[in-house]
Each structure stands twice: as structure tokens, then as C-alpha cells.
Amino acid sequence: MNCHFIKLLLCISAFLFTITILAQPKRLTKDFHKERREQLRNKMPENSAAIFVSNPKQTRSADTEHRYKQNTDLYYFSGIHEANVILLVFKNDVVIQNQKAKDVILISPKNADEELWHGLMLGEEGAKEKSGATLVLPIQEFKKINPLLADLSHVYASWPQFENNEYNEDLINILNEIATQNKIENEELEAWLHQLRGIKTEEEIGILKHAIKISGQGHIEAMKSIQPGVSERQIQGVHEFIHRAMGAEDSGYLPIVGAGNNGCILHYSSNDKDLIKDRLVLMDVGAEYQNYTGDITRTVPTKGFFNQEEKQLYDLVLLALDEGIKAVKKGNTFKDIDQACRNTIHEGLIRLGIVKKGENHPFFPHGVSHHLGLDVHDRGEYKTLKPGMVITVEPGIYIPENSPTDKKWWNIAIRIEDNILIKEDKIENLSEFVPRTSSDIEGVMKEKGILQKLD
């Protein structure tokens, strides 16, 4: 063990000590999932059932897989994070094997060989424990359910359509059987799911706050580590290290770390360029914690300070963000947020002489707000803002090279994104602790980052 290595260990353990003091939120319990199913049942008409099917495992390369991501509807109503699972929510009691039930789960039975290679399976008992459903059957016993479905007036279903993936054959046969024997309805179910999942419960808000806290901490450490010569990939690594070190299981979506012109590519994710001459770095990165994800964007100067043009545009985007956030309140609409951001940016671009009055421009090409939760673009209604919603506000300005404006503005891409919880009479900006003014960003960038500590 050399001196360098000890130094590194000390540095990492000191760091871990500071982050482990963050209190962990409560996990979702079976009562949560049970209650969510009751809420769905309340919306369903008599004599109906809603069916949810797990996502398949997805091949990454040869016989290795991507990290498993559950169908978020199935997870929401069951807490089960395993492939080859079907959940049936019945409006009225059904009787199967002399047992009365309202919810039935079909799951692969435990299998020693499968567990040896891929880890523990829930099995029937585990699934009961997770979901609070009283009736759990091996997936092969689907034939007991099928006649029940045939008698219903409505069968609602929403299942993933992934081809060439590792669905097991039993499951495919069952889905085919359901689809041929019943008239599957989808539209109303989709609407109910948006209504339910768009309003977060206290438990969900606790977990989301934690996911956002971790995401924000990733941004702060990344800001400290950014300097000319580091690469986009290294910055991504800093975010991901913080995510995992703080207990997140993954990123909620492919991290975007785009330097200079790369920031203009809205879903840039190759993150393979060195930061040398680029002036700004746009980071849109969020941690996934207990299946809920944060979604924060910050844009910072490579050298640690903004030049005049960058600062002018940065301040404009921040103003648009603040105007957008002011429009976030119970009773307003998503359109109000969009308008507030768009008007501010439009007026600002005219003021700076980047566009002429009355001229259309391509510099703000995307929407400003989406629901945040189990999916980064979560289910939810896009009409009136209601208490319990957690949404993003994320205006941006992107001026790629060769744009029809003065050259001094080229290669500037700025987006700032915060995560907002709507309450009865106020809002809470859950990502406000991540430096967002140009001077706060310049301040935190003076600190030594974890990348430099590794030197």
C-alpha cells in the first residue's frame, strides 16, 4: 500500500462520511401499493379488470443484459421489480381456488438454477410480502384466470411492446391469449394512470426529494471538478460516482454532459469530448433512487468564470427559469409556465440584439416542463397544476455555430432546470440548493473537485 493510495483512501472515506449522514427516506411499503390499487379500482367501472405486465429483460450484448428496469405502472401498483410478472386488478371480487381476491399476481416460481446464476427471486411468498396482494399464483396457472376475464364487461391493459427481448414463452402465450379472447381497452386506463401517478403521495415525495438531493450533490461535485483538460466522460463519472456513493441505483436517464456546441444537441449522450477550448459545459444529469429519478440541469464555464456574452445569456435563461417558476402554482396551467419562460427569452434575445422584433427564432426549440417520478418524463396530466405534482421547469437557449446572428454568440448552449413540488398554497424548489446564479457557480468552481483529489 503506497502513500498515494492511502491518501486516496483517506480522501474517499472523508467524503463518504460527509454524505452518509443524509437521512434515508422510508421505502415504499405494501400498504402504499395496496392503497394505489384501491385508488385505481375506484375509477374502474363495475365488472372490469386492469392488467399490468412486467418489462422484459433486455439484451445488451451476447448473453449479457442491461440493468433491469421495471414497467413503472406495474411497479407503482405492486412494488415488484422482477421480469415475467402479471398483475390483475379486478373491480369486483373473484374467486379462485376457493379464495376470494380483488388483486391477483402471477409470477415465476422460485427456481434454484435461476437463482444460482441471476440472484434471488421473489417467488409467491415474496410477491405477497412486497405487494400486499392476497392471491399470488405461479405464472403457469394463468388458465385459472382466463375464464374470469371472458366474463367481464371491460378488460383494460397496458403492456410493453418490446420485440426480440427476453420475455419468457409462458408470458408471451398468456398475452396472446388475453388479446385474442378479450377486447382490450387502453384509452381510459391511460387517463386514470396519468391522474393517479401525476399526484405524488407523501411517501413518493420523500423518495423523490432524496433522488433530487443526490442528483444535486452530483452537480455540485462535478462543478468543482470541471477545468480545462478534463473530459465530458470524466464529468459524467463524477456524477455517477456520487450517485452510487450516496445509495442511488443508477442514473434516471442517459446523462448529458455536452461541452460547447455539443450542448446544442438536445439528447446528446456520447459524452466523449475533452474540455479544452470549450467555454460552457451543459450537464443534464439525474440520479435514480428507489426507482424515482431527479432531473437537474446546470450549465457552467469550463474555466470557472463566464465571459460577457455567456453571462448575458446565462442571466437571461435564469430569469426565464425564475419567471417560469413564478407561474407554477395551484390552478395555473402548464401553458402558463411555458408562456412565462418563452416570453422572457424572446424579449431578452431582442434586447441583446440576437433576434429582431417580430422575427421567429430557432434558439429555444423544446418544451419547458414535465412530470417527474418513476419515469423521468413521468405520467401525469398536462392541464391544471395541482398540489402533489412534482414537475420540472427547464428553459434554454442554444445558438449553434453558423447561426444567423453575430459570431460572438455561437457555440453557446445554456439550459437550467429545477424540480418543483406544488403544494396547497406554495411551491418548493427541490433543487434550489444546487448553485444556480452565475456568481454562485463561479464560487463553487473555485473549490477543489474529487477529480483533482485523485491526481
Query: Which residues are the active-site residues?
Result: 63, 267, 284, 295, 366, 370, 377, 394, 398, 415, 417
How far apart CA 348 and CA 397 sit, in angstroms, is 11
User: What is the nearest approach in angstroms of Mn ion to the Cβ of residue 416?
Assistant: 11
Distance (Å, whole) CA 155 – CA 51: 8
# residues contacting Mn ion (CB under 5 A): 2
Taking the least distance from each CB to Mn ion, the nearer of 82 and 394 is: 394
We find the least distance from the C-beta atom of residue 119 to Mn ion, in angstroms, to be 32
For residue 207 the three cell numbers come to 423518495
CB of 204 to Mn ion, least distance (A): 18
Part of the chain binding Mn ion (CB under 5 A), chosen from 273-281, 302-310, 384-392, 403-411: 384-392
The answer for residues whose C-beta is within 8 angstroms of residue 70's C-beta and 6 or more apart is: 54, 55, 80, 81, 82, 291
Binding of Mn ion at residue 293 (CB under 5 A)?
no
In this chain, which stretch among 20-28, 34-42, 45-53, 392-400 interacts with Mn ion, using CB under 5 A? 392-400
Please pick, from the candidates 103, 295, 336, 442, the single residue that binds Mn ion as defined by CB under 5 A: 295
Q: Does 392 bind Mn ion (CB under 5 A)?
A: yes
- Determine how β-strand 59-61 pairs with β-strand 64-65: antiparallel
Contact pattern for Mn ion over residues 199 through 238, marking x by CB under 5 A: ----------------------------------------
Residues 240-271 as b or e (16 or more Cβ within 10 Å = b): bbbbebbebeebbbebbbbbbbbbbeeebbeb
Q: What is the Cα–Cα distance from 50 to 91, expressed in whole angstroms?
A: 8
Q: Does 418 bind Mn ion (CB under 5 A)?
A: no
Q: Are 321 and 341 in contact (CB under 8 A)?
A: yes
**Binding range to Mn ion, per CB under 5 A, among 112-120, 247-255, 293-301, 383-391:** 293-301
Stretch that binds Mn ion, among 223-231, 262-270, 275-283, 291-299 (CB under 5 A): 291-299
Q: Could you tell me how many residues make up the chain?
A: 455
Q: Which is nearer to Mn ion, 221 or 417 (CB)?
A: 417
The position carrying cell 394463468 is 142
The 8-class DSSP code of residue 55 comes to P
Burial class (CB in 10 A: 0-12, 13-18, 19+), 138: middle
Chain-centroid distance, C-alpha 437 = 24
Closest to Mn ion by CB, 171 vs 416, is: 416
Closest to Mn ion by CB, 215 vs 302, is 215
Q: Closer to Mn ion at the Cβ: 25 or 294? A: 294
Instruction: Count Cβ atoms within 10 A of the Cβ of residue 292 and give its class: 0-12 exposed, 13-18 middle, 19 or more buried.
Output: buried
Closest residue to Mn ion using C-beta atoms: 295
Task: Give me the residues that bind Mn ion (CB under 5 A), please.
Answer: 295, 392
